[in-house]
């Protein structure tokens, strides 16, 4: 990447203050943030945001880039179930190669870049004696670094104790450079295996000084309660902020008495949670008649308890989820609906579920539009978070370390009625005028 210019973003809105602002960027970092109207050195290159909303970049805290772009290869999942997805993936996994994994991961990463995502945590299957996908993804991590910070979770898809040499493969993945320790206790053969697998994962995390991200209780079984073991181990080790419980869909089915006791432990532990609304809502409840459970973890209750929770995709265009373009606003839109977070302020603040909350899960310490931080931000053509979510706006500009890395030209729709022609905007107030920004 070439050196970032000395430049100024003008006529921009910020989520935490009223009015229009200007943001100075110098040497790839945020400078002063001042109200519009204050004089500036003419040496600045100017981007006119036209009243758009500037927020930190979107973060994808949970995706499987080793399976992405495989929907329909060689066969489609016709039932849409988890179990047929596993069958279809077994067919596709037989065709896996180093270059295949890289090409597919890169394609989805490009989609994510276009959609304003600059931080991605991907789970990579290490239940493979050759560790083909992991080795490929480690190369992708280096290649994509100028545009996306990629974290790799060593994910034992078929278990640590239930797969031959599972523990050794997990440790080898960490030695090769995986950033995060994974586990899948509810998929182990027995409950005892599940608990022991978590002890192994925590031991390896402390040995190699890595955070943990556990596929935890992704099942409708109300007796699947491995999250309590995750939280207890995190509390005992004093590493709660470095531990994430992903999915926890069984929590949707826990009884109130148990959940009340559990939440005390969760809050004490300080662990993070990732819900994956698009996938959780369609894979869970498949064994129910009616009424059918939604099968997503207790997002609203976790938030009310002050526990960090964020949203991820889980899958994009693969045997388990045949849709998706890497657009985090689609994830948020579904999550707000299924978690009944549809009050005005809940919607307006919803962007935190795919930005600030995700940054805590990701372990970022210099994230946000603050003087001195790396100049990473996106500009949405909306006046606030509510309008951005309601209109599902594109990312107008994505800026990383002071350089534009993605630009979307805004579409214009015209309608013709007996009242004549009219340029249509779905915004409540006047449409935001388009503008040409600096070249990427």
Cα(102)–Cα(85) distance, integer angstroms: 21
Report the pLDDT value the prediction gives residue 429, as an integer from 0 to 100. 79
Cα(155)–Cα(162) distance, integer angstroms: 13
Torsion sign (Cα): 256, 262, 264, 270: negative
Report the pLDDT value the prediction gives residue 7, as an integer from 0 to 100. 86
Residue 10: how many CA atoms within 13 Å on its side-chain side?
Answer: 16
Report the pLDDT value the prediction gives residue 161, as an integer from 0 to 100. 99
Report the pLDDT value the prediction gives residue 390, as an integer from 0 to 100. 98
Report the pLDDT value the prediction gives residue 32, as an integer from 0 to 100. 95
Cα(427)–Cα(170) distance, integer angstroms: 49
Which residue, 245, 315, 242, is CA-closest to 282?
A: 315
Query: What pTM was computed for the model?
Result: 0.95
Distances in Å between the alpha carbon of 141 and those of 68, 144, 160, 196, 296?
Answer: 16, 5, 24, 31, 30
Cα(181)–Cα(141) distance, integer angstroms: 17
Give the distance, in angstroms, between the CA of residue 12 and the centroid of all CA atoms in the same chain: 25
Is residue 221 within 8 A of residue 254, CB to CB? The reply is no
Report the pLDDT value the prediction gives residue 437, as an integer from 0 to 100. 41
Report the pLDDT value the prediction gives residue 428, as an integer from 0 to 100. 85
User: For each successive 10 residues of the chain (440 residues), what is the average pLDDT?
Assistant: 72 96 96 86 85 98 99 96 92 95 99 99 97 99 99 98 98 99 98 99 99 98 98 99 99 98 99 99 96 96 98 98 98 99 98 99 98 98 98 98 96 92 85 44
Which residue, 65, 68, 10, is CA-closest to 40?
A: 10
If residue 7 lies in a helix (H) or strand (E), which one and from where to where? strand 7-14
Radius of gyration of the chain from Cα atoms? 22
If residue 388 lies in a helix (H) or strand (E), which one and from where to where? helix 385-391
- Catalytic hit among 218, 222, 301, 387: 218
Report the pLDDT value the prediction gives residue 5, as an integer from 0 to 100. 59
Give me the helices (H) in 186-276, please. 191-208, 226-237, 256-269
Give the distance, in angstroms, between the CA of residue 2 and the centroid of all CA atoms in the same chain: 28
Which domains occur in the chain, in start order? 7-56+368-424 (2.30.40.10), 58-362 (3.20.20.140)
435 class by beta-carbon count within 10 Å (0-12 exposed, 13-18 middle, 19+ buried)? middle
Which residue, 275, 63, 261, is CA-closest to 151?
A: 63
Report the pLDDT value the prediction gives residue 3, as an integer from 0 to 100. 55
Report the pLDDT value the prediction gives residue 4, as an integer from 0 to 100. 59
Cα(226)–Cα(211) distance, integer angstroms: 18
**Number of CB atoms found within 10 A of residue 287's CB:** 11
If residue 168 lies in a helix (H) or strand (E), which one and from where to where? helix 166-176
Residue 222 known to be catalytic: no
């Amino acid at each position: 990447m070439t050196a970032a210019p000395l430049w100024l973003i003008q006529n921009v809105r910020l989520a935490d203050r009223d009015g229009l602002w200007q943001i100075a960027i110098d040497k790839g970092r945020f400078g002063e943030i001042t109200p519009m109207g204050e004089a500036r050195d003419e040496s600045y290159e100017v981007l006119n945001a036209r009243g758009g909303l500037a927020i930190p970049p979107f973060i994808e805290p949970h995706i499987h880039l080793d399976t992405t772009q495989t929907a329909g290869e060689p066969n489609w999942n016709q039932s849409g179930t988890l179990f047929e997805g596993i069958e279809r993936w077994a067919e596709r996994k037989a065709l896996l190669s180093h270059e295949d994994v890289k090409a597919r991961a890169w394609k989805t990463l490009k989609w994510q870049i276009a959609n304003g995502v600059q931080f991605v945590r991907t789970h990579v299957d290490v239940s493979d004696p050759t560790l083909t996908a992991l080795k490929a993804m480690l190369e992708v991590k280096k290649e994509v670094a100028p545009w996306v910070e990629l974290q790799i979770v060593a994910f034992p898809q078929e278990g640590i104790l239930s797969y031959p040499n599972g523990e050794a493969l997990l440790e080898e993945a960490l030695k090769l450079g995986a950033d995060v320790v994974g586990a899948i206790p509810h998929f182990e053969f027995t409950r005892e295996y599940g608990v022991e697998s978590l002890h192994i994962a925590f031991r390896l995390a402390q040995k190699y000084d890595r955070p943990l991200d556990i596929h935890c209780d992704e099942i409708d079984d109300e007796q699947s309660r491995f999250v309590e073991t995750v939280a207890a181990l995190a509390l005992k080790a004093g590493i709660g902020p470095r531990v994430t419980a992903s999915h926890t869909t069984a929590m949707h089915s826990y009884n109130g008495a148990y959940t009340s006791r559990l939440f005390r432990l969760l809050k004490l532990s300080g662990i993070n949670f990732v819900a994956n609304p698009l996938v959780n809502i369609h894979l869970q409840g498949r064994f129910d008649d009616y009424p059918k459970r939604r099968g997503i973890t207790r997002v609203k209750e976790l938030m009310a308890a002050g526990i960090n929770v964020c949203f991820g995709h889980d899958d994009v265009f693969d045997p388990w989820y045949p849709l998706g373009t890497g657009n985090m606003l689609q994830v948020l839109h579904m999550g707000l609906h299924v978690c009944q977070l549809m009050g005005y302020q809940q919607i307006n603040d919803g962007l935190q579920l795919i930005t600030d909350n995700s940054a805590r899960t990701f372990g970022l310490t210099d994230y946000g539009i603050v003087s001195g931080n790396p100049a990473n931000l996106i500009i949405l053509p909306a006046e606030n978070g509510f309008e951005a979510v309601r209109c599902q706006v594109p990312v107008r500009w994505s800026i990383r370390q002071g350089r534009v890395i993605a630009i979307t030209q805004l579409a214009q729709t015209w309608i013709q009625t007996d009242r004549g022609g009219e340029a249509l905007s779905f915004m409540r107030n006047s449409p935001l005028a388009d503008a040409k920004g600096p070249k990427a």
